Amino acid sequence: MEGQDWVYSDKVKDHFLNPRNFLMGDESKFDYDAVGQVGNPICGDQMRMYIKVGRDKKGREIIEDVRWKTYGCASAIASTSALSELCKGRALDAALKIGAKDIDDYLGNLPKHKFHCSVLGHDALKEAIENFRKKSS
């Protein structure tokens, strides 16, 4: 059907209207260890991901908490919200393995022409983890 590629799943709508782990206001109010920022010059979306790193019972570094900000469309907001839920509590290397397809599947599929939004979130998280590792070494 014409226009079906614009249909958002209920889960995408929910994450857009009720974003999880969104950082409202001043980032100094969130005690983060590292930040990653990426943008897409074609669509204009910008994402910033803040991570707080802790350790699990086995001593592995994990994403203890995460917050984010984005300037972007509904798909960008929903994708970043979903990623923030998927990565919380995971070991850093495991969090890096969360890909755009995982985010898309979790949300019940983004419109095809909006799939790139899920890639931006992953890239912002990757940069935050890399920044944390640089600071820690």
CA-based nearest residue to 66, from 37, 30, 100, 26: 30
- Told to judge if 87 belongs to the known catalytic residues of this protein, a careful annotator would answer no
Q: Which of 9, 22, 30, 43 is catalytic?
A: 43
Q: Which of 47, 66, 117, 124 is catalytic?
A: 117
- Told to judge if 73 belongs to the known catalytic residues of this protein, a careful annotator would answer no
117 three-state secondary structure: helix
> What is the distance of C-alpha 10 from the center of its chain?
19
Residue 134 sits at φ, ψ, to 5 deg, of -65, -45
According to DSSP, the β-strands at 34-39 and 61-71 are unpaired
Would you name the residues annotated as active-site residues?
A: 43, 117
